[in-house]
Structure formats: structure tokens, C-alpha cells
A and B are shown apart, each in its own frame.
Chain A
Amino acid sequence: MEAKVKYYLEIADNAFILSHRLSECSSNGPFLEEDLAGTNVALDLIGLAEPVYNEAAKLNKKGESGDDLAYRRSENNYFNCLLTEQPNSDFAFIMTRQFFMDVFNYYYFMDLANSSDKFLKAVASKSLKEVTYHLKRSSEWMIRFGGGTDVSKEKAQKAVDSLWKYTGELFTASEADLALRESNVSVDLEAVRDKWDQKISEIFYLAHLKKPENDYQMLGGKSGVHSEYMGFMLAEIQFLTNKYPEAIW
């Protein structure tokens, strides 16, 4: 697979898989307003993934459509980070996963908006507005968890502690990513990491949350090695295309 196709898929898969996790909460939000807000974010992410899949399909020149890429690959050909596929548990967990990803997306797309690749540049510039709002929303929630009740703070800290090991992968460049670095198609993830880290510290300070001391990190998603949850998730995502292969929108 050409590096650029792989890199496009990393971007699209992150958005697509996280979007699916959020969509699982649809109609199960803690209350109506939050239910809609979460679903809005899921829709924004689908809107981000779709054109990237379509463009990746075009670049790949195998006669596939964007939908084929989204719905007809096997597990080890999905390249989303492990963070995005972690299953929903409580609201603090869902929001913390979102917060980590929103901070990443915000700084990542900000840099990607200067990519030498015109398509990625356009996608990044468009997504940045949506991501800016996502980040504002999840940051406000983190601050409220920490400053809310003992229970909300404890749940948020627990979510931070259990998700921390998946954050390092966001900044671990894949081979495809590195191959595209010199031509300025991809962005320097170390620079994104510094800004991510600073933002996390800032919000954690306001939220009275602590960064975990144990910095053990799990990798794998970007090379198609996923956690045990991914297969179940794909079974659901791909149910319709498997049962009705001819189905179209």
C-alpha cells in the first residue's frame, strides 16, 4: 500500500471508529442535551472521515469506493489508534477519551492545515472549526468532573488513569507517516505532542486532575494490531454490508 493511502486511512479510521463509539451512545446520553451534543460530534467525525476515505480510494486505484474502505476491510487493515476503539463505560470515561482525542485533533489539524498535500490541507482547515468546538466542550466537562462531586472527580481520574496508556500512540509516527515527513505532507507529531501535553496540563490544573505517573504505553492500532474490542465493534459496523453486499445508500 502506498504511504499516502495508508496515511489517509490513519486519519479517516481515527475519525470513523471514534464516531462509531460515540454513535453507540445515541439515545443513551445522561440527558437529552448531552445526547444530542455527543451525537453531533459523532456526525462531525463521520463528515471528516467520509471525504478522506473517498480520496484514499481514488489514490489507491483498485476500483474500491470510500464505502468499501470504511466497511469492507478486515480488522488488521484498520489503522486507528487504540484510544479511539476503547469501549464506552461511564460518561466520565467517554468524555475523557473524547478530550484526549479532541486535544490531539485540534493541534494536529492546525499543523496539517499547512500540509503540502492540498487535499489534506483543505480537510484540516475545514475540520478545525468543528474540532475547536469539540475541544471546548470536552474541556469544560473535564473541569466540571474535577470540580464537581467526589464521585465525579474520582470517575474522571479513573478514566484518565485507564486511558493514559493509549495516548502515546497518537504521537508515535507510523512508517507511512515518516515517509511523508520530508515532503511536508505529514506533520511533526513531536511538536503536536508538546502542545498536547501543555493543554492537558492546563486543563488538568483547572480540573484538579493528575497525570498518571506510570507512563507505560500501548501501541499497535496504527499498524493494524488492535485491542480485543475491535473485532466486536467491526462485526457491528460491518453487519449491514456483510448481510446485504449490494446495499447502497
Chain B
Amino acid sequence: MGTENQGPVWEVFIQTKPGQPYKHAGSVHAYDKELAIENARDVYTRRNEGTSLWVVPSDQIVAVSASETSSFFEPADDKIYRHPTFYNLPDGVKQM
């Protein structure tokens, strides 16, 4: 079985409950968006993993390349004052 005729790759995001953020679950092959969402349903939500799905063509996702990692993220390493850890959170705030 070759990989060349399985269609393009789509990234799958699952929302476990309404209101929760979508989390990346993995990827599927599919020829178009309808089949992509059906394949995602069949591969990733067989065991009640979620209540909603997104699929996104993998080649439409813009990612930071490995060579840029240090210039993108390391400047934040020594700037601890940017963390909101010095505040007391009110009791009513649950997701932070």
C-alpha cells in the first residue's frame, strides 16, 4: 500500500466539552474536507473523546521552523517579570 494515493494530510483538533479549547489529536488522510471530518470522526472519536471536531489542511498551518526556535522563544526566558505570578487571583476565577 503506497502513501501517494491516500490524499493530503489534515490535522485533527478535538473539543472534549463545549466551552473547552480544541486540542490537537493527530492527523488523517483524506481527499477533501467532508471525508476529512468523517475520517477524523472514525479515527479519533470512537471512544467518546469529544463533542466537536476541526480538521485543517496540514499545509495551511504555519509553524515556526526549528532553526528559528531560539530567536523566537529564548528572549522570554530571562523576563520573569512578564509572568502574572505576583498577583493574588480572586477565588471566583477558575480557569487561568
**Do the two shown chains form a genuine complex with each other?**
yes
Chain A residues at the B interface, C-beta cutoff of 8 Å? 30-34, 36-37, 40, 133, 136-137, 140, 144
* Pair A40/B46 contact, Cβ less than 8 Å: yes
Interface centre among A33, A36, A40, A136 (most CB of B within 10 A): A33
Q: Could you say which residues of chain B place their CB within 8 Å of the CB of A137?
A: 38
Min CB gap A149→B, angstroms? 11
B2-24 toward A: CB 8 Å interface, digit per residue (1/0)? 00001000000000000000000
The complex places the Cα of A36 from the Cα of B30 at a distance, in Å, of: 13
Min CB gap A25→B, angstroms? 13
A-B residue pairs, 8 tightest by C-beta: A33-B39, A37-B42, A31-B6, A36-B42, A33-B28, A40-B42, A36-B43, A140-B34
Chain B residues at the A interface, C-beta cutoff of 8 Å? 1, 6, 28-32, 34-35, 38-39, 41-43, 46
The complex places the Cα of A136 from the Cα of B6 at a distance, in Å, of: 20
Q: Could you say which residues of chain B place their CB within 8 Å of the CB of A36?
A: 42-43, 46
Min CB gap B68→A, angstroms? 32
* Pair A144/B42 contact, Cβ less than 8 Å: no
Q: Given contact pairs A30-B1, A136-B38, A140-B38, enumerate 11 new A-B contacts (beta carbons under 8 Å).
A: A30-B6, A31-B6, A31-B29, A32-B29, A33-B6, A33-B28, A33-B29, A33-B30, A33-B43, A37-B42, A140-B35
Q: Could you say which residues of chain B place their CB within 8 Å of the CB of A32?
A: 29, 43
The complex places the Cα of A212 from the Cα of B46 at a distance, in Å, of: 37
The complex places the Cα of A30 from the Cα of B29 at a distance, in Å, of: 11
Q: Could you say which residues of chain A place their CB within 8 Å of the CB of B39?
A: 33-34, 37
Q: Could you say which residues of chain A place their CB within 8 Å of the CB of B34?
A: 140
* Pair A144/B35 contact, Cβ less than 8 Å: yes
Q: Identify 22 residue pairs between A and B in the complex whose beta-carbon atoms are under 8 Å apart, listed by A's number.
A: A30-B1, A30-B6, A31-B29, A32-B29, A33-B6, A33-B28, A33-B29, A33-B42, A33-B43, A34-B39, A36-B42, A36-B46, A37-B38, A37-B43, A40-B46, A133-B41, A136-B38, A137-B38, A140-B34, A140-B35, A140-B38, A144-B31
